[in-house]
Amino acid sequence: MTTPSYDDIAAHEDLLAWSRAYCKEVRREWVVDVRFDLVEWEVSTRAKRRAAALKRPKIPAAAVGTPIDWDTAEAANGRIADGRPFPATLSLTWDAFETFDRAAWESTLRHELVHLEQYQRCGTTDHGSEFKARAEELDTEVHCEAFSDPKYVLRCEACDGVVAHRYRECKLVRRAEEYRSSCCDAMLTVE
């Protein structure tokens, strides 16, 4: 498949092709130490809060900053690595792509490459100090901008301050009367 131009992305396959090509370019130009042969790509049409995500197996003994021995690494499901990182999936959110401009989408991809680099080196990833330093080197943010409005907004009844946003109905939304705001210790209202 020929990689479409950014402005010609019209389908999930186009987004995947363009994003893969961009990530390969970033790997080369910014010296990002990742293996794309161990990455699967997908597009999510359900995600509301995350612009993209790196899905990977949990490795209980892994810690950011400590290189992992992929010859002996064991996933939470008991699977033993065979000398190379377990495959990971880079999940891209279609709604975020449609909402963001090109610069924001490119930043989102660089953010995910930091996660991928950490995972392939250490067996896990987070948004801690090492992530922040590497994100700065790759000119990306630690957290992406919102691309959808929350379905529920919880406010403090006393000062009307926003206490929380929720994108789905959850215990906090259903039983808001059981909770108090941290600002005024007042009841919560749900919008």
**Which domains can be identified in the chain, with CATH numbers?**
6-137 (3.30.2010.10), 152-190 (no CATH)
- pLDDT given for residue 93 in this prediction: 97
Bridge-based pairing of strands 88-93 and 39-44 is parallel
Mean pLDDT, residues 4-33 taken together:
98
The SS3 assignment for 20 reads: helix
Q: Is residue 59 a contact partner of residue 73, using CB atoms and an 8 Å limit?
A: yes
- pLDDT given for residue 48 in this prediction: 85
- pLDDT given for residue 148 in this prediction: 83
Q: Which residues contact 11 (CB under 8 A, 6 or more apart)?
A: none
Q: Whole-structure pTM over 0.95, yes or no?
A: no
Mean pLDDT, residues 56-74 taken together:
94
With 90 as the cut, is the pLDDT of residue 49 above it? no
With 70 as the cut, is the pLDDT of residue 1 above it? no
The share of the chain scoring above pLDDT 70, in percent, equals 99
Mean pLDDT, residues 116-144 taken together:
96
CA 37 to chain centre: 20
Angle (deg, nearest 10), helices 129-137 and 102-122: 130
Q: Which residues contact 151 (CB under 8 A, 6 or more apart)?
A: 166, 167, 168, 169
- Reported as a pLDDT band with limits 50, 70 and 90, residue 115 is very high
Q: How far apart are CA 133 and CA 30, in angstroms?
A: 14
Q: What is the mean pLDDT of the chain?
A: 94
- Reported as a pLDDT band with limits 50, 70 and 90, residue 109 is very high
